[in-house]
Amino acid sequence: MKPNRRRFLRGIGGAVLALPGLECLSAAGAAVNRPPLRMAHFYVPIGVVRRGFFPGEQDDVIPKGNLGNVMQSLGKQDPNHKVRPLDKLTPTMEPLEDLRSHVSLITGMDRTFQQGTDVHAQCASCYLSSARPYTVQGSAWPLDRTLDHIVADHIGTKTPFRTLEFSCNSHRDNRESIYFDNISWYGTGHLAPSIRDPRKMYRRLFSTSEIKQSREITSLVLEDARSLQRELGSADRQKFSEYFDSIRSIETQMTRLETMKAELAQVNLEEPVASHLPRGEYIRLMGDLMVTALQTGLTSVATFMVGPERWDTPYLFESLFDKPRSHHQMSHNQTKMIDDLLKVDRFHMEQFAHLARRMRDITEADGSSLLDNTLFTYGSGLGDGSTHQYNDLPIIVAGGGSRTQTGLHIHMPEGTPLANLWLTQARLIGLPIDSFADSNGEISDWVA
Amino acid sequence: MMNARCYQTAIFRSLKSVLLVSWFGIAAIAVGDELDQPGAAGVLRVVEARCVQCHGETDEPEGNVDLTALKLSQLEDDAALVRKLMHVIETREMPPEGEAPLEADLRERTLAELKSILHVAVQKNSNSVQTPMRRMNRFQYNNAVVDLFDLNCIVFTLPERAMRGYKDYFDPASGRMPDIVTVGNRPLGKSQMIEPRLAGVAAFPQDLRAEHGFDNQADHLSLSPLLMDEFLKLGQSITDSPDFTPKQVGIWNTFFAAPENSAMLTSVERTEEIRSRLSPFLTKAFRRPVSADQLNRYTQFAAGQIDAGVEFPDAMKAVAAATLASPRFLYLYDTSHPERGAAPVEADDFELASRLSFFFWGSIPDETLLEIAASGRLSEQDTLAAQIDRMLSDKRMKRFCDSFPSQWLQLDRLVSSVPDRNRFPDFYFSKYRLSMHMMLEPLLIFETVFVENRPITQLIDSDFTYRTAKLDQAYGPLNCASGKNSGDQVTTLTFQRLPVTDRRNGGVITNAAVMTMTSGPERTKPITRGAWIAGVVFNDPPKPPPANVPPLPEKPQAGEEHLSLRERLAAHRERTDCRGCHEQIDPLGFALENYDAVGLWRDQYENGTPVDPSGELFREDRFASVTEFKDAILRDRRRFCRAFAGHLFAFALARELAPADEVALDAITDAAADDDFRMRTLMRQIVLSQPFRTK
> Which sign does the torsion angle of CA B394, B395, B398, B399 carry?
negative
State CA B57 to chain mean position distance: 41
Query: Contact A178/B220, CB-based, under 8 Å?
Result: yes
CA dist A415 and A108 (Å) reads 8
> Helix, strand, coil proportions of chain A in percent (round to 5)?
40, 15, 45
Q: Which pLDDT score is estimated for B443?
A: 98
**Cα separation values, A295 from A12, A15, A160, A166, B611, Å:** 10, 11, 13, 16, 63
Q: With pLDDT > 90 as the criterion, what percentage of chain B qualifies?
A: 55
CA dist A157 and A249 (Å) reads 10
With an 8 Å Cβ cutoff, is A384 touching chain B?
Answer: no
Task: Report chain A residues whose CB lies below 8 A from the CB of B7.
Answer: 115-116
Give the residue from chain B lying closest to A232, CA to CA.
Answer: B336
Q: Which pLDDT score is estimated for A210?
A: 60
Query: Contact A66/B339, CB-based, under 8 Å?
Result: no
Strands B493-499 and B615-617: unpaired
CA dist A417 and A435 (Å) reads 11
Give the gap in angstroms from C-alpha B221 to the nearest C-alpha of chain A: 8
**Cα separation values, B638 from A238, B555, B634, B668, Å:** 40, 40, 8, 11
Please, which residues have CB within 8 angstroms of residue B553's CB and are 6 or more apart in sequence?
Answer: none
Residue-wise pLDDT tens digits, B56-91: 766 666 666 778 778 888 888 888 888 888 888 888
CA dist B422 and B440 (Å) reads 25
Give the gap in angstroms from C-alpha B395 to the nearest C-alpha of chain A: 27
Closest CA to A93 of A413, A394, A412: A394
Q: Which pLDDT score is estimated for B60?
A: 65
Residue-wise pLDDT tens digits, B555-592: 666 777 777 777 777 766 665 556 667 778 889 999 99
Assign A76 to helix, strand or coil.
Answer: coil
Please, which residues have CB within 8 angstroms of residue A230's CB and are 6 or more apart in sequence?
Answer: none
| Chain A / chain B CB contacts < 8 angstroms | 187
Find the CB nearest A231 among B336, B338, B415: B336
Q: Are A130 and A113 in contact (CB under 8 A)?
A: no
Assign A77 to helix, strand or coil.
Answer: coil
Give the residue from chain A lying closest to B577, CA to CA.
Answer: A69
Higher-confidence position of A75 and A162: A162
What is the Cα Rg of chain B in Å?
Answer: 28
With an 8 Å Cβ cutoff, is B551 touching chain A?
Answer: yes
Q: What is B458-485 written as a DSSP string?
A: GGTS-SEEEE-HHHHHHTGGG-S--PPP
Q: Which pLDDT score is estimated for B177?
A: 97
Give the gap in angstroms from C-alpha B435 to the nearest C-alpha of chain A: 14
Instruction: Tell me the ipTM for this assembly.
Output: 0.79
Query: Contact A228/B340, CB-based, under 8 Å?
Result: no
Task: Report chain A residues whose CB lies below 8 A from the CB of B228.
Answer: 243, 246-247, 249-250
Look at residue B151 and tell me whether its pLDDT is greater than 80: yes
Task: Report chain B residues whose CB lies below 8 A from the CB of A204.
Answer: 226, 229
Closest CA to A81 of A396, A439, A444, A448: A444
Average pLDDT over residues B590-619: 93
Helix (H) or strand (E) holding B370: helix B367-374
Q: Which pLDDT score is estimated for B680?
A: 96
Residue-wise pLDDT tens digits, B463-480: 999 999 999 999 999 988
Q: Exposure of B117 by Cβ count < 10 A (0-12 exposed, 13-18 middle, 19+ buried)?
A: buried
With an 8 Å Cβ cutoff, is B563 touching chain A?
Answer: no
Binding-face residues of A in 224-253 toward B, CB within 8 A: 224-225, 227-228, 231-236, 239-240, 242-243, 245-247, 249-250, 253
State CA A219 to chain mean position distance: 34
Give the gap in angstroms from C-alpha A222 to the nearest C-alpha of chain B: 8
Cis peptide before A272 (omega within 30 of 0): no
| Size (chain B), residues | 695
Give the gap in angstroms from C-alpha A254 to the nearest C-alpha of chain B: 10
Find the CB nearest A66 among B222, B301, B545: B545
Assign B177 to helix, strand or coil.
Answer: coil
Give the residue from chain A lying closest to B551, CA to CA.
Answer: A65
Q: Are A61 and A97 in contact (CB under 8 A)?
A: no
Q: What is the four-CA torsion angle of A307, A313, A317, A320, rounded to 10 degrees?
A: 120
Find the CB nearest A246 among B132, B224, B233: B224
Query: Contact B226/A193, CB-based, under 8 Å?
Result: yes
* B314 confidence band (pLDDT: 50, 70, 90): very high
Look at residue A46 and tell me whether its pLDDT is greater than 90: yes
With an 8 Å Cβ cutoff, is B432 touching chain A?
Answer: no
CA dist A120 and A178 (Å) reads 12
CA dist B497 and A63 (Å) reads 51
Task: Report chain A residues whose CB lies below 8 A from the CB of B229.
Answer: 204, 246, 250, 253
Q: Which pLDDT score is estimated for B578?
A: 61
With an 8 Å Cβ cutoff, is B289 touching chain A?
Answer: no
